[in-house]
Amino acid sequence: MAILELKKVQKTFGTGRTKVEAMKETDFEAEKGELIAVIGPSGSGKSTFLTIAGGLQTPTDGEVMINGTALADLKEKKRAALRLKEVGFVLQASNLIPYLNVGQQMQLLDKVKKGNLQKEEAKELYQSLGIDHLIRNFPKDLSGGEKQRVAIAKALYTNPSIILADEPTASLDSDRAFEVMNMLKEITKEKQTATIVVTHDTRLIDDCDKVYKITDGKMELQERVYDTL
Amino acid sequence: MKPKGSEFMFLAWNEIRNNKLRFTLVIGVLVLISYLVFFLSGLANGLEQLNREAVDKWEADGIILTEESDLRLQQSILSKDDFDGSGVDEYTELSQLSAIASNGDKKENVYIFAVDPSSFIMPDVTEGNAFVDEGEVIADDTLKEDGFEIGDELSLSSTDETLEIVGFTDKARFNAAPVLFTDQDTLETLQYGEFAEEDSDAINAFIIRTDNLNNVEADKTLQVIDTETFIENLPGYTEQNLTLTLMIYFLFIISAVVLAIFLYVLTIQKISIFGVMKAQGISSGYLAGSVVAQTFLLSLAGVMIGLFLAVITGLFLPAAVPVAFNYIEMLIYGIILIVVSVIGALISVQTIVRIDPLKAIGG
């Protein structure tokens, strides 16, 4: 069963002559252990897709299912709880909470949700992401790459079944960007999460299981060149 | 999972700890406001005591004055025969005169109360002796602080007669002036000199003790009022209290508004952070609880420091400044300050609830 499923989802803004179709009718599925890239130029509808998939906004038409639960049936409070339980967002590096150190960023999640990683598991996660020596550091003391690794750790800390990453490599140099993508791939396979990475950087999609391209709100699955080789 | 109060504190406290300067400024403003509130309440209390101490000392339930006196002791002229004690447990007569008393060195505005030495309004002597002979008085001990002593001969502004201080009593000020207690004959002499009548029956009021003022049977030309009403009608008493109370209430509002503005600005600065947290599934309720917890911590710190500073100031104030702290009242005002501060934070809570997590990820 697909963990994340979008059925005939559409999103329009405005009406009449000002109507904009941000997302044309789209079907999408993500299974456990799949790393999926969603690529497209700026303004193509990538973020609209990500926010609808993560339950941050509701589609104009169609249905979004997370682990078998239709988001349309849930009120905002329940949607937030489902997000906390099932979805790990990896947002841009600057979005870490500036007044909490790395350890406290995770502790905050313990304050609002049960069933997060156990101490040993968390330790392993920090080691695997190479941030175990940064636990007492504040975001201002971290480099761009370190911030992004902390953001990934934060997304994984709640043991989500889906990871939604919004331009996770945007503020990184090439080496760091590849490093982060490799890390996401490893996590996806190891933890059997469905990981969807929204990016405009086509160099990073080689290791992805599926690639979707969005152009003017229309989302299409891309055939992979090496698949045919 | 419903977060507990201590869990709200986590975000609140860590933010305060890591933004010391910013939050010290907020606490600083609250310290100044609460200090002013506590100081004004002490001042209101001190001025109140200054007016009513001598009356409270009677431990009386009511007072009988003439109908036409407009509740002013000085304007009430009646005779000892005007009331026979019907309907009261105890009663006694009171005559009074105001004057400027001087011991040759210092001058002081005083009230002279003529009381029956065997009555319940006769003050306890804390130093020296009670008056026995004509011309002897017991003085309020604030006069002692002003340089008056036992044995001092007092000349008065309105008469050639003199008085001698034979003892002191405590807490005996009336209408912001110390009281001299003496007997009826001495007061008569002060008022009428050589024309004074011996055993005159002219007095100003009857002071009564009773369970029910409605049971008091007095002539139609007299009015029976409770002690509190009598005090409230002392010249300037109510006006002064209302002014200070109004200032305190305004400070509560100012406190709420100032903190609301500070927290609102801080919240606006943190919109993207709150948006990220909401996107991650942290509920508005948790974030709102965190802001309320933060406001509570800030206002508690501000109020505690303000209280401490006010009490310390009180210890070093000269006796001339009528500040008297009522700690229970201060505690209540402190709680009110914290409550109004938290109410002020509700504007920020409303802002947090409205933050769209979409904005956090540029959707």
- Distances in whole angstroms, Cα of residue B172 to Cα of each of A213, B139, B178, B188, B318: 91, 8, 6, 21, 19
Predicted confidence band of residue B74 (pLDDT cuts 50, 70, 90): confident
Predicted confidence band of residue A115 (pLDDT cuts 50, 70, 90): confident
Higher pLDDT, A223 or A139: A139
The answer to whether B175 and B51 have CB atoms below 8 angstroms apart is yes
The ipTM, to two decimals, is 0.81
For B305-331, what is the mean pLDDT?
91
Provide the shortest C-alpha distance from residue A198 to chain B (in Å): 11
Q: What is the pLDDT of residue A229?
A: 39
The counts of H helices and E strands in chain B are: 9, 13
Rounded Cα gap, residues B307 and A110, in angstroms: 37
For A1-21, what is the mean pLDDT?
88
Q: Which helix (H) or strand (E) holds B107?
A: strand B107-115
Domain residue spans of chain A: 32-51+75-224
Statement: residue A65 has pLDDT above 90: yes
Q: How far apart are the first and last CA of chain A?
A: 29
Query: Which range among A90-94, B86-90, B262-266 shows the weakest confidence by mean pLDDT?
Result: A90-94
B322-332 pLDDT, tens digit per residue, is 899 999 999 99
Taking each helix axis from N to C end, the angle separating A119-128 and A144-157, rounded to the nearest 10 degrees, works out to 150
Q: What is the pLDDT of residue A42?
A: 80
For A56-84, what is the mean pLDDT?
88
Query: Which range among A87-101, B91-105, B234-248, B305-319 shows the weakest confidence by mean pLDDT?
Result: A87-101
Predicted confidence band of residue B362 (pLDDT cuts 50, 70, 90): low
A159-170 pLDDT, tens digit per residue, is 899 999 988 887
Provide the shortest C-alpha distance from residue A83 to chain B (in Å): 5
Q: What is the pLDDT of residue A14?
A: 85
Higher pLDDT, B197 or B48: B48
Share of chain B above pLDDT 90, in %: 60
Torsion region of B82: left, alpha or beta (phi above 0 gives left; psi -120 to 50 gives alpha): alpha
Statement: residue A55 has pLDDT above 80: yes
CB distance from B7 to chain A under 8 Å?
yes
Q: What is the pLDDT of residue B307?
A: 95
Which amino acid is residue B65, in one-letter code?
A: L
Statement: residue A95 has pLDDT above 80: no
- Chain A CB contacts of B286 below 8 Å: 111-112
B81-119 pLDDT, tens digit per residue, is 899 888 899 999 999 999 999 988 889 999 999 999 999
Q: Structure tokens of B204?
A: 């100003």
In whole numbers, what is the pLDDT of chain B averaged over residues?
Answer: 90
Statement: residue B157 has pLDDT above 90: no
SS3 A160: coil
The answer to whether B259 and B98 have CB atoms below 8 angstroms apart is no
Looking at domain A32-51+75-224, which CATH architecture does it have?
A: 3-Layer(aba) Sandwich (3.40)
* CB-based contacts of A130-139 (< 8 A; 24+ apart in sequence): A131/A102, A134/A102, A135/A101, A135/A102, A135/A103, A136/A101, A136/A102, A136/A103, A137/A101, A137/A102, A138/A98, A138/A99, A138/A100, A138/A101, A138/A102, A138/B18, A139/A96, A139/A97, A139/A98
In whole numbers, what is the pLDDT of chain A averaged over residues?
Answer: 86
Rounded Cα gap, residues A12 and A5, in angstroms: 19
A127-185 pLDDT, tens digit per residue, is 888 899 999 999 999 988 888 889 888 888 888 999 999 888 877 778 878 888 888 89
Provide the shortest C-alpha distance from residue A57 to chain B (in Å): 7
Strands (DSSP E) contained in A14-173 are 20-30, 35-39, 61-66, 69-70, 87-90, 162-166
Statement: residue B2 has pLDDT above 60: no
List CB contacts of A82: < 8 A, sequence separation 6 or more.
A55, A66, A69, A71, A74, B281
- Chain A CB contacts of B355 below 8 Å: none
Q: What is the pLDDT of residue A228?
A: 41
Q: What is the pLDDT of residue B360?
A: 58
Predicted confidence band of residue A227 (pLDDT cuts 50, 70, 90): very low
Q: Structure tokens of B353?
A: 């609830």
Predicted confidence band of residue B27 (pLDDT cuts 50, 70, 90): very high
Q: What is the pLDDT of residue B182?
A: 95
Q: What is the pLDDT of residue B1?
A: 53
Share of chain B above pLDDT 70, in %: 96
**Spatial CA neighbour of B361 closest among A213, A167, A162, A42:** A167
- Chain B CB contacts of A50 below 8 Å: 361, 363
Phi and psi torsions of A205, nearest 5°? -95, -5
The answer to whether B43 and B322 have CB atoms below 8 angstroms apart is yes
Other Cβ atoms less than 10 A from the Cβ of B354: the count is 9
B188-242 pLDDT, tens digit per residue, is 888 877 666 766 788 999 999 999 898 888 888 999 999 999 999 998 899 999 9
**Spatial CA neighbour of B326 closest among B336, B314, B339:** B314
Tell me which chain A residue has its CA closest to the CA of residue B7: A111
For B241-261, what is the mean pLDDT?
90
- Chain A CB contacts of B361 below 8 Å: 47, 50-51, 56, 89, 91-92, 166
